[in-house]
């Protein structure tokens, strides 16, 4: 047994030496930031290491009941499963990641029969979700699996999640032992051990609950949410918001270019987003947006055209790029309605830009219902690279810290505008989940927009600090 432990220790050290263990700021497959990243795909380039791993695996097999076939979870575990299959002379099957679009659309390749007992091989387990996907495909064709042999258990809930599926997990190495061996070899220091241990304990993934409690966006500071955002503009916004200490977007709904430019100059120091309805300008000229771009750069905010695209993809594409406003050439983010569905989102995907999808509207008598709102949120979450956030009035996606809730309809001491608009105070909207609040007439109608902007910024920021406390 001591000999086996020495082999496992040397396996851990080798992993570090080949660069398969990375310490720093990374993100896991489930989009959770992590201070340690383990990339076992690298070991395909080190045959001696595969040999060592297969020897250790064979030792572990003594604890596992007999099986008829082996299946590796694609892709990282495939070379390990092949090595084991050859050493033991036990056949292997392979699970496809996607089914073929031709032929028999089989998910499991290789020879097997109903009732075969299978051992699943996996490299790293966090939640166990990849093993569960493989298990489902194997079960579908009548193959039974009750044991999985894995190289590395991150100890973040995988064991429990798999037990619920009837699978016992056997791991060669777990995070506790990995940290111990690396510390003893002086590859890492005590502070790394503490940081990773603390992370492991606080970031447990329970696949049977719909949300991950530690990922409540309402409680996370903006700077910590950068790591969860997939859309570049969302990342930029979180950065600007943290640096400038502002979650204020001004809605610059004015009809003259010089007024628009003056508003940008006056409110610039206090905002993260400058929102326009460019088509309400009576004297539009492309120079206006050139001027706005310069002010945005000077004061570090993003330009946001509230175009509320809603047509078929092809038309939206032209509305976005062409015409006299050439929105794509200057707006960093835009708004869109979700009613045309995924095709419209595919059509407006452009480089770095971002979209806020409208899931709720701030007017009384709106005909948007719960079903539409839920479908919009679902659609938005399917486009994390494109969607910066969601325009809404309620905390609809609290377990998705990478997306931004943008809430308009904010003004102090006013309940409505007589045309359907409903207002809430900064405290109320931040309490209702807003990450960025949009203030229009509360600022634009003030005799001193700079003073009003600073007042709203300070109130909104205070409410946010209270929320994350
Ligand atoms: O503060 P106000 O009422 O002067 O301005 C609110 C701004 C306007 C609206 O077009 C916009 O916010 N808006 C939106 C957005 C941003 O899409 C959605 C919504 O539900 N309500 C709303 O007022 O520029």
Question: Would you kindly state where each structural domain of the chain is located, as residue ranges?
Answer: 2-209, 217-468
Pocket of ligand 1 (CB under 6 A): 251, 253, 277, 306, 335, 358, 361-362, 391, 408-409, 411, 421, 438-442
State the pLDDT at residue 142.
94
Residue 184 φ then ψ, to 5°:
-65, -30
Q: Mapping DSSP to helix (H, G, I), strand (E, B) and coil, where does residue 162 land?
A: helix
- Name which residue leads in pLDDT, 369 or 1: 369
H helices of 185-269, in order, are: 190-202, 222-225, 232-244, 257-267
Q: 274-322, pLDDT tens digit by residue?
A: 999 999 999 999 999 999 999 999 999 999 999 999 999 999 999 999 9
Q: Are 388 and 234 spatial neighbours (Cβ–Cβ below 8 Å)?
A: yes
Q: What is the mean pLDDT of residues 370-376?
A: 92
Catalytic residue among 123, 306, 422, 455: 306
- Residue 213 pLDDT class (50, 70, 90 cuts): very low
- Name which residue leads in pLDDT, 130 or 210: 130
How far is the centre of ligand 1, averaged over its atoms, from the C-alpha of 295 (Å)? 22
Beta pairing class for 92-95 and 248-251: unpaired
Nearest alpha carbon, ligand 1 atom 15: 408
How far is the centre of ligand 1, averaged over its atoms, from the C-alpha of 401 (Å)? 23
Annotated active-site residue 68? The verdict is no
Q: Mapping DSSP to helix (H, G, I), strand (E, B) and coil, where does residue 404 land?
A: strand
* Percent of the chain with pLDDT strictly greater than 90: 74
Tell which one of 408, 414, 424, 434 to mutate to probe ligand 1, the residue whose CB is within 8 A of the most ligand atoms: 408
State the pLDDT at residue 30.
62
* Model pTM score: 0.61
Annotated active-site residue 87? The verdict is no
| Atom from ligand 1 closest to the CA of residue 360 | 20
Catalytic residue among 39, 137, 206, 311: 311
207-211, 265-269, 377-381: which has the minimum mean pLDDT? 207-211
Residues contacting 124, CB < 8 A, separation 6+: 38, 40, 76, 150, 151, 152, 154
Residues contacting 271, CB < 8 A, separation 6+: 246, 248, 249, 250, 299, 301, 453, 457
2-209 under CATH 3.40.50.2020, yes or no? yes
Catalytic residue among 22, 219, 239, 308: 308
Render the burial of 125-145: b for 16+ CB within 10 Å, e for the rest: bbbbbbbbebbebbeeeebeb
State the pLDDT at residue 211.
41
State the pLDDT at residue 453.
98
| Atom from ligand 1 closest to the CA of residue 356 | 17
Annotated active-site residue 375? The verdict is no
Nearest alpha carbon, ligand 1 atom 11: 408
State the pLDDT at residue 98.
63
Is 60 exceeded by the pLDDT of residue 401? yes
State the pLDDT at residue 31.
63
Task: Output the known binding site for substrate.
Answer: 253, 275, 362, 421, 440-441
- Per this entry, what is the length of the chain? 469
- Name which residue leads in pLDDT, 468 or 289: 289
Q: Are 19 and 42 spatial neighbours (Cβ–Cβ below 8 Å)?
A: yes
State the pLDDT at residue 209.
58
State the pLDDT at residue 289.
97
Nearest alpha carbon, ligand 1 atom 12: 408
- Residue 47 pLDDT class (50, 70, 90 cuts): very high
State the pLDDT at residue 349.
85
Distance (Å, whole) CA 345 – CA 310: 10
Q: Could you tell me the maximum CA-CA distance found in the chain, to the nearest angstrom? A: 83
Q: What is the mean pLDDT of residues 428-445?
A: 96
Q: What is the mean pLDDT of residues 229-257?
A: 97
Distance (Å, whole) CA 337 – CA 231: 18
Q: 9-29, pLDDT tens digit by residue?
A: 999 999 999 999 999 888 776
Is 70 exceeded by the pLDDT of residue 325? yes
Is 50 exceeded by the pLDDT of residue 212? no
State the pLDDT at residue 199.
82
Domain spanning 217-468, CATH architecture: Alpha-Beta Barrel (3.20)
Nearest alpha carbon, ligand 1 atom 22: 408
Q: Are 205 and 156 spatial neighbours (Cβ–Cβ below 8 Å)?
A: yes
- Residue 1 pLDDT class (50, 70, 90 cuts): low
């Amino acid at each position: 047994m001591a000999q086996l432990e020495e082999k496992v220790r040397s396996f851990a050290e080798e992993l570090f030496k080949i660069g398969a263990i990375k310490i720093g700021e990374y993100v896991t497959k489930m989009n959770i930031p992590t201070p340690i990243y383990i990339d076992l795909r690298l070991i395909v380039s080190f045959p001696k290491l595969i040999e060592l791993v297969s020897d250790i695996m064979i030792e572990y097999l003594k604890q596992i009941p007999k099986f008829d076939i082996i299946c590796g979870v694609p892709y990282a575990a495939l070379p390990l499963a092949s090595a084991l299959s050859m050493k033991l002379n036990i056949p292997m099957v392979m699970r496809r990641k996607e089914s073929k679009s031709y032929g028999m659309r089989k998910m499991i390749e290789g020879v097997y029969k109903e009732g075969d007992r299978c051992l699943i091989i996996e490299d790293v387990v966090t939640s166990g979700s990849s093993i569960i996907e493989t298990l489902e495909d194997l079960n579908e064709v009548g193959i039974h699996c009750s044991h999985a042999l894995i190289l590395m258990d991150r100890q973040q809930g995988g064991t429990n999640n798999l037990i619920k599926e009837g699978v016992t997990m056997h791991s060669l190495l777990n995070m506790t032992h990995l940290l111990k061996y690396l510390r003893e070899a002086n590859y890492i220091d005590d502070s790394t051990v503490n940081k990773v241990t603390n992370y492991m304990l606080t970031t447990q993934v329970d696949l049977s609950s719909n949300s991950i409690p530690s990922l409540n966006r309402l409680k996370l500071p903006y700077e910590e949410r950068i790591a969860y955002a997939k859309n570049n503009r969302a990342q930029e916004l979180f950065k600007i918001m943290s640096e400038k200490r502002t979650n204020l977007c001004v809605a610059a709904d004015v009809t003259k270019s010089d007024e628009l430019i003056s508003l940008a100059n006056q409110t610039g120091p206090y905002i993260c987003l400058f929102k326009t309805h460019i088509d309400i300008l009576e004297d539009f000229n492309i120079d206006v947006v050139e001027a706005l771009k310069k002010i945005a750069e000077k004061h570090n905010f993003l330009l946001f055209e509230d175009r509320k695209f809603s047509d078929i993809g092809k038309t939206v594409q032209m509305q976005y790029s062409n015409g006299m406003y050439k929105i794509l050439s200057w707006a960093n983010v835009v708004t869109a309605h979700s009613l045309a569905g995924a095709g419209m989102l595919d059509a407006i995907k452009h480089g770095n830009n971002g979209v806020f999808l409208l899931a709720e509207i701030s007017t009384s008598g709106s005909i948007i219902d719960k079903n539409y709102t839920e479908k919009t949120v679902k659609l938005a979450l399917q486009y994390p690279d494109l969607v910066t956030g969601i325009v809404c009035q309620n905390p609809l996606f609290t377990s998705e810290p990478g997306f931004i809730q943008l809430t308009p309809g904010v003004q102090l001491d006013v309940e409505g505008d007589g045309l359907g608009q409903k207002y809430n105070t900064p405290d109320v909207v931040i309490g209702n989940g807003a990450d960025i609040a949009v203030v229009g007439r509360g600022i634009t109608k003030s005799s001193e927009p700079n003073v009003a902007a600073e007042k709203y910024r300070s109130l909104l920021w205070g409410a946010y600090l209270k929320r994350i406390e």
